[in-house]
Amino acid sequence: MYEGDHGCELGRYFPDSAGPQAQSQVAVVIPTMLRPCLETALRSVYAQAGVGRVQIMIGIDRPGNPAALYRVLEARPANMSALVLTLPYSTSVRHGGPHTATDGGALRAILSFMANTRYVAYLDDDNTWFPDHLKNLLAAIEGKVWAFSRRILVDEETGRELAVDRWDSVGANKGRLAAIGGLVDPSCLLINKVVVARVLGRWSETADGSLSDAADRHFFAAIRNTPHGAVQEATVRYSIRRDNILHKIMAEGIEY
């Protein structure tokens, strides 16, 4: 536990069996507002098979009580460490901070730099992974700058699997967003952060300075044309609300 000048807890470290300076095979960055679904997301990280040491990096986007989160982290597997960053303020304009990315402010960038490994994966707290997600991505990124897997769209209210996404998160210069370079959703992405260090700050901003959750597109635009690998299987369960345009696209059978 670390405390600031006014007794405010700034974070907590949950070690694994190795020393903290020893690099992990991969890190998992999770920005969160401590929604209840975070536990389910973490359990899917715990279930990852075929990987070595994993460093879980969690940043809380606005002040809250992390006690329940800490209890879940106490149950992490032996090969996983965790670091929780609990700033006493939000860095996102959504909650009064300076950064235009509304989905976590600067947290993805900060935690990416803080990770003690060159390979960083991302997971939003309302999504989950299949057990082979990290193993497959680590194989796909070998000799490359980044790698991605496919995702299954899931109804947020019912948990029902709807379809494998073949419209949006489908890679560089493909799909419905091909005109702006395509997209890979953060929860499907693995990067070599050392190679792309110069553009990690894009996680905290939007291309046009507007206040939105489009930082993922801004970051992806900077890496999309670099060498990358692909996992053809869908290894991410991605929740969508009833008002998400993908519901309309699926209902109408629209293809791109």
For the segment 154-202, what is each residue's pLDDT rounded down to a tens digit?
999 999 999 999 999 999 999 999 999 999 999 999 999 999 999 999 9
- For 235-249, b/e burial (b = at least 16 CB within 10 A) is bbbbbbeeeeebeeb
**Domain ranges (residues) in the chain:** 2-252
Q: 185, 169 in Cβ contact below 8 A?
A: yes
Prediction pTM value: 0.94
| Gap between the Cα atoms of 115 and 113, Å rounded | 6
Question: Comparing C-alpha atoms, which of 134, 158, 109 is closest to residue 28?
Answer: 134
pLDDT for position 8: 61
Q: Where do we find the tokens 């969160």?
A: 32
Using 50 as the pLDDT threshold, list the residues of the chain that sit under it: 1-7
Q: 1, 7 in Cβ contact below 8 A?
A: no
What kind of architecture, by CATH, is found in domain 2-252?
Alpha-Beta Complex (3.90)
pLDDT for position 199: 98
For residue range 117-138, list pLDDT tens digits in order: 999 999 999 999 999 999 999 9
Question: Comparing C-alpha atoms, which of 25, 87, 33 is closest to residue 56?
Answer: 25
